[in-house]
Amino acid sequence: MTVLRRFGLLAPLAAFSLAGCGINSIPTAEEQVNAEFANLQAEYQRRNDVIGNLVETVKGAAGSEEKILTQVTEARSRATSATLTPAQLSDPAAVKRFNDAQASLSGARSLLGTVIMERYPQLQSQQRFGDLMVALEGTENRIRTQRRDYNEAVRQYNTRIRTFPDAIGAKIFYGAKPKVPFEAEAGAQDAPKVDFNTGG
């Protein structure tokens, strides 16, 4: 009877100690990282869908910029074929490959927009084209916001698995590894250069 009574007193203490060692908070933080990553993937898919419609619209209206359209189509193909699973979020090389593929699509989209503005200004008057460009710009903004939210979730998770007392549970129970945040695209701090070839 005494042993059972002691066990009855120790059980809540053990449960409290385990809870304080990240037994619940580590999986919760990891699920938050995975959820933010899924939201980011949804935004990338939305952008790919919008770009597909944009390319078809430009092809129908302009019809002749095959090189630019091919570059955008190829970049879109690379971006959609680059995959990253939640299990790979701790692999810096896998995150970099995914990030690079998405960055190439952003660059190609900017190139397409510049060429259209330079060579096909009449397309601006077409409502469908204008709607798609607005949707694409909105999507890029949503991607930036979602990347920030993902990176914040990663920061919180990485901090949690490295600080006491959660670090104990993270190591012993989960073998937790740091997740990899997305870095800014190369040249993201620079304003894009637009050249309308108006110089002499």
Enter the DSSP assignment of 192: P
Provide the percentage of residues in the chain whose pLDDT is more than 70.
63
Burial class (CB in 10 A: 0-12, 13-18, 19+), 102: buried
Burial class (CB in 10 A: 0-12, 13-18, 19+), 169: buried
Q: Give domain status of residue 46, yes or no.
A: yes
Question: The CATH number of the domain where 71 resides is what?
Answer: 1.20.1440.20
Please write the tens of the pLDDT for every residue from 123-153. 554 666 677 778 778 888 899 999 999 999 9
Rounded to whole angstroms, the Cα distance separating 44 from 39 reads: 9
Domain count, the chain: 1
Q: Give domain status of residue 8, yes or no.
A: no
* Location of structure tokens 């990253």: 84
- What per-residue confidence (pLDDT) applies to 68? 64
Range of the domain at 37: 24-174
pLDDT below 50 — which residues of the chain? 1, 11, 13-19, 125, 189, 191-200
In angstroms, the Cα distances linking 195 to 31, 114, 115, 118, 185 are 45, 8, 10, 8, 22
Q: Give domain status of residue 185, yes or no.
A: no
Q: Give domain status of residue 76, yes or no.
A: yes
- What per-residue confidence (pLDDT) applies to 111? 60
- What per-residue confidence (pLDDT) applies to 74? 78
Q: Give domain status of residue 6, yes or no.
A: no
Q: Give domain status of residue 146, yes or no.
A: yes
Q: Give domain status of residue 83, yes or no.
A: yes
Q: Give domain status of residue 196, yes or no.
A: no
